[in-house]
Chains A and B, each alone.
Chain A
Amino acid sequence: MQNRRNSLFLLAAGVAALALPAVAAEYRLTGKSAPDFALRSSAGTNIRLSEHRGEVVLLAFFGSRCDQCGDQLAVLSRMFNTYKSAGLVALAVNVDDDQAKAAKFIAAHQASFPMLLDPEKTVARSYRVDNLPMLLLVDRAGVIRYAYRDFHSRDEAGYLAQTRQLLDE
């Protein structure tokens, strides 16, 4: 009887453990319109997302304390240089509170696309950023099609395939 109860408990706990990562992996804004925003870039110009309607946008969120953010920005920079003539736009949003740290990180990781500053985290909140780095692929109609809430070097192939698919649409 005791064994049976234990097995029942283990079964329930196992099902719960399997289910929870699935919830964590789900990004609720996938398939929805990307919320519009306007932010100041580190270069001083203001950039509005809706002005890039008709182009495929790689929207990355990063912070200076994130280990993988620099690697992801390097990958995005390569992709942007390759596909910008085909209508690819890349925007990276820094969510640091400390603007000095943000500036230092941006200077250390020179990217060929605009680095936007969101110290008040209004844009990060509207995009429900819960992990860094986070990358969203927005199609030409302004819909969020793919979301990555982590970065592994193997993800680059996925980024490329999905970006090409969106550029071809």
Chain B
Amino acid sequence: MNRSFIQSALLLALLATTATAYPADAPVAPTPVAAAAAETPAATAAPATAEPTTDAAAPVAAPDTRALDEEIQGIKKDVVDLNRDLFVLEEELLFPANTQVAVFLSMDVGAFFALDTVELRVDDKQVSKYLYTPREAEALLKGGVQRLYLGNLRVGGHELVALFTGKGPNGQDYSRGAQLKFEKSVGAKYLELKISDKQHKQQPEFEIKDWE
């Protein structure tokens, strides 16, 4: 009885210790006081130390600064290159060419349709739902092409359904769907959702193109 009492007390103490220790692992934002304290010495110390040296060492420091700047630019370029290589490697690993399926979206004219959302379903399973801001819709109208979905599918027959919602010809809510049955073979598959205006019908047109 006594032992269990002491054990529970120790357990509580242990819990308390871990509870206090845990938040320390998470990044902590500087409190206003801490931030001010951190900034103040730097702000006050910088002119005091920097001023005497700048006058005396100005002619000598200029070439050094240029060399340092070039070095920094070189390192930045290396980081960008490395990041690009990693991105390509990641895409190759996550979406290998033999299973890769990508769906793109483009808009042509758009006088009869203002895009709001696109929902994508592959084999009756929702894979993407994208809400468009006015800025994004404008970019598409200017000729932008968006990669809406990138995923993996097995070789064989599949069905893609796209549901478009937005504002129709008279500014009313408008919703349409487009469907495509396609065969996934060995090699990447690229599909394009294309929204265009059908002038003679005064209606928007939605189609899915298979990039063979």
Partner-B contacts on A (CB < 8 A)? 5, 8-9, 11-13, 15-16, 18-20, 22-23, 26, 28, 30-32, 38-40, 45-48, 51, 144-147, 158, 161-162, 165
User: Which among A12, A19, A48, A145 is the interface contact of B10 at CB below 8 angstroms?
Assistant: A12
Q: Does B125 make an interface contact (CB < 8 A)? A: no
Given contacts A23-B23, A30-B29, contact A18 B16 (CB under 8 A): yes
Interchain CB contact under 8 A, B12 and A13: yes
In Å, the complex CA distance between A165 and B33 comes to 12
Which of chain A's residues have a CB closer than 8 A to the CB of B10?
12
**Cross-chain pairs A/B with CB under 8 angstroms, 16 sampled:** A5-B5, A12-B10, A12-B13, A15-B16, A16-B15, A16-B16, A16-B19, A19-B19, A20-B19, A26-B23, A30-B26, A30-B28, A30-B29, A46-B132, A48-B136, A165-B32
B131 contacts the other chain (CB 8 A)? yes
A26's nearest neighbour on chain B, judged by CB, is B23
What residue in chain B is nearest A145 (Cβ atoms)? B29
Hey, which chain A residues are within 8 Å of B27, CB to CB? Answer: 30-32
Contacting residue for B22 out of A5, A12, A23, A144, CB 8 A: A23
Cα of A136 to Cα of B28 in the assembled complex, Å: 14
B16-36, CB under 8 A of A: which get 1 and which 0? Answer: 110110110011110010010
Q: How large is the interface on B (under 10, 10 to 19, 20 to 34, 35 or more residues)?
A: 20 to 34
| A16: contacting residue among B12, B28, B135, CB under 8 A | B12
Residues in A with CB closer than 8 Å to B20 are 19, 22
A31-B26 Cα distance, complex, nearest whole Å? 9
- Chain A residues with CB under 8 Å of B134's CB are 45-46
Residues of B within 8 A of A28 (CB): 26
Residues of the B chain whose Cβ atoms lie less than 8 Å from the Cβ of A51 = 133, 135
A25 to chain B: closest CB distance in Å? Answer: 8
* B interface residue numbers (CB < 8 A to A): 2, 5-6, 8-10, 12-13, 15-17, 19-20, 22-23, 26-29, 32, 35, 116, 130-136
Top 3 A-B residue pairs of the complex, sorted by shortest distance between their CB atoms: A31-B27, A12-B12, A15-B16
Residues of A within 8 A of B12 (CB): 9, 12-13, 15-16
The answer on a CB contact under 8 Å between A46 and B133 is: yes
The reply to whether A47 and B133 form a contact with Cβ atoms under 8 Å apart is: yes
Minimum C-beta distance from A75 to chain B (A): 17
Task: Please indicate the chain B residues that have their CB under 8 angstroms from the CB of A18 in the complex.
Answer: 16
Extra pairs beyond A12-B12, A16-B12, A38-B132 (13, CB < 8 Å): A5-B5, A8-B6, A9-B9, A12-B10, A15-B16, A16-B15, A22-B19, A31-B28, A32-B27, A46-B131, A46-B132, A48-B133, A162-B32
